[in-house]
Structure 1
Amino acid sequence: MDPFIKIQTPQKSMIRIILDSLIVFVKLPLFAILILEIVIMNDYIFRQIQRLQFHIVFHKFLRIIILVHNYISGRLLLLVLGYFKYKSLFHNNTSNFKHVNLQSYCFYCLRTSPIDVLVYITYFSPSFTHISIQKDKVKCKIISYGTAIIESFYISKCSFKDFTDGENIKDLMIQIRKTRTGPLIVFWEGGITNGYSFLKIDQTIINEIYNINSFAKEPLQKSHYLNQNPQGIVCLQNDDRMNLIGNSPIQMLITILKNQFCSLEMFFLKFQPYNFIDHLPDIYQGFIEGRIKRGISDYSWIHYQQQFIQQNM
């Protein structure tokens, strides 16, 4: 299935349309206020303080304040959007996973809607990135929460950009460990899909994951990562597999605001500390088809990005 084909939904009655319109009218100002509060506090206050040179104890204390703030604001925002039910951070399929050192983790996330970005802010207070693939090398840049939220409302905008002055993921992981601004969120598919079929992972991204796996085993890094691979896939599951693909941000916003009494479940797959470079596509395929109950496209974001460019020319 083409991951960008809009799924057809049944026609609604006039009464339902009027009710949805009233819900959108009530929710919109609350949504706007909470989004502005989260962006202002994180992009213009917390991040500015984190850039200053303080003792590590201060950064740890500030990190606690940020986590508490984003959790409260984020949960209020999710409640406004109709997400009243939410299963534990890591579901039972990771019951043997110890929640340690998430600060230094690199999460490879799947993205089907703005809800993904809002949930990660709520529960992780992470650093979001843009990715550039140059001559088979992955370069990254940290982006603001405002940019991450805005771009999550666009199909044709994605986390794959074209720049040469970025840094590799290993350097970013070291930076966020020092400034307490992690974990690092990488939308490794590149684009936003309809949630019914995920994008194929670019081979260059797979190679980069292997490089970080080796990096974590270096003598100077082992203590930071507890001799484990600090990487994993994170994926959200909506109870109704809500389709948020629209032709404009307005369509996606209206779809989000019309939600009522939805539930979320987070799935996590921790990469094992062995040489998985030849097996990761199969592991990913099993994770998507087994845990998330969906399929994988035959193409990566770069293929579809070329289509978007041709359509807009």
Structure 2
Amino acid sequence: MHSTSPPANDGLPARASEWLVALADHPEDETLRAGLQRWLAASPANRRDWEEMSALWQGLGEIGTLAGEDRGTTRERLPARRVRRRALGAAAGLAVALGLAFAWGPDLLLRLEADQVTATAEVRSLVLDDGSRVELAPRSAVAVDFSARERRLRLLQGRAFFVVAAGDRRPFIVATRGAEARDIGTAFDVATADDATEVAVREGIVEVTRPGAPGAAELRAGDWVRIERSGATGRGQVEAESVGAWRRGRLMVENRPVAAVVDALRPYFPGTVVLVGDRLARQPLTGAYTLSDPVGALRAVASAQGASVHRVSPWLIVIAGD
């Protein structure tokens, strides 16, 4: 049984997500509303967290201004039961939608185009007709197009690690929407996203080209290149042994934007991860994270940047910063 109102003391909520739930439970409680106003006034960070979380909550289902603030508009004051029902209905709707999305996995067109597709947190090892090996990361998809002239694979989504079999004279090519990696007897990692393709070499040599652009980037052990859809490129070096570390359950990053690190962790979390704040997204990050604990890894990423983490539901995490 719930009490008619929460305690007006140290038992008051301490985080924006907790305030939202408490107010949905007790929308008429003036003591609770007064406590929220004191909490908002206590620090700019509290107010920022509240604004971000309330915007997200209202986006799931219009439930009025729970804080009771005057924002220049007139809203009908809903009975407590209706407010609570809308809040729960919005949350339930989100849970059902996310559940259906991840039950079906990648969209049907991707499945029709791909030869192999992996689910959340699934790593799959493949042996190709020529003896080459492919390790497909979670939420990834690849199509194999071998012919008499070349061994071509299309990485349609996600990430894969390739160990190319020697002795076959046909070129071994991995293509994404933004680049092509041509193997010269090697082991290498390729990742693709909407905005860029990344290639890193563990051993041997790989030539990376961008369709329509002259020249090729030659990568050797420990080299990596990032080719953005805009045409911008970046290059660097890492320890060769760290290339493909995700296959051993570790994500190792060096001076990478927070947005890129969160993108790499998303396939291991069975739900949605929302990153709020352009400045936070651009911040450089170096670290090693355990992929078997994606929630812990996301909390570590946020902690390193002084950002906040809100576990809105088992299927939704919001990381918020400046």
TM interval, shorter chain, is under 0.3
Higher Cα radius of gyration: 2
Higher share in helix? 1
TM-score, with length taken from structure 2: 0.26
Higher share in strand? 2
TM-score, with length taken from structure 1: 0.27
Higher relative CO (Cα under 8 Å, sequence separation at least 6) belongs to 1
